[in-house]
Amino acid sequence: MATATITPVDLSKAFRLINHGPTTLVSARHEGVDNVMAASWVCALDYAPPKLTVVLDKMARTRELIEKSGQFVIQVPTVAQIALTHHAGTHSLHTDPEKMTHPAIRVFKMPGTDMPFIEGCAGWLACKVIPEPHNQSTYDLFIGEITGAWADSRIFSNGRWKFDSADPAWRSLHYIAGGQFYATGEGMTIGGQEMP
């Protein structure tokens, strides 16, 4: 794959990859098994060190891989990846052992990591689980520290999304229910003051 456009994102700006609430892909690897699932319930939690939360159902095979390996990748899929995202959200590796052979799912290696990164996404956040057994068992809620962040410079560079100037196929996805998504829309700026 062409990796020339994959660019590190400063950790202080990593939250910007998910602050607008996109639907994500969560991937993980353990003992040679890779999996990826779709997750809308992913949210920034802190700036420094950057953290996020993700809700992982007990039925999800990806959750098992995360619990065993202690790490995962959150990636921001694009409009061009809507079929992949829907496939990842509606098929379980438990019942469909061929899930990862879907032609749109191509995994690549991010140097310095040992997790399955999904090709073609807008951004990637490598995360390390901060163990919180009560949250995990009671609420299916996992906390991750973001240890690395990257974006495709065709859609995010210098800490900024380029949705208004890039090809609309690069827009991120926002899932509702029943196969219904919205793309990220028009940009609008107000004031000169940073909102915390």
Which residues contact its own copies by CB under 8 A? 13, 15-16, 19-23, 38, 40-46, 51, 53, 55, 57, 79, 82-83, 86, 89-90, 132, 134-135, 139-141, 143, 159-161, 163, 168, 171, 174-196
Dihedrals phi, psi of 104, to nearest 5 degrees: -80, -15
| 54 vs 145: CA distance, rounded Å | 11
**Residue 113 or residue 157: which is nearer to its own copies going by CB?**
157
Considering beta carbons, is residue 67 or 140 the nearer one to its own copies? 140
Asked if 142 contacts 53 with a C-beta cutoff of 8 angstroms, the reply is yes
Of the two residues 8 and 187, which places its CB atom closer to its own copies in the complex? 187
As a whole number of angstroms, the longest Cα–Cα distance in the chain is 51
Q: Which helix (H) or strand (E) holds 53?
A: strand 50-55
Cα–Cα distance, 156 to 173 (Å, whole number)? 15
Asked if 8 and 150 count as a contact pair (C-beta separation under 8 A), the reply is yes
| Shortest reach from residue 27's CB to its own copies, in Å | 17
**CB 45, min distance to its own copies, A:** 6
Q: Which is nearer to its own copies, 67 or 145 (CB)?
A: 145
Provide the minimum distance between the beta carbon of 95 and its own copies in the complex, in angstroms, as a whole number: 13
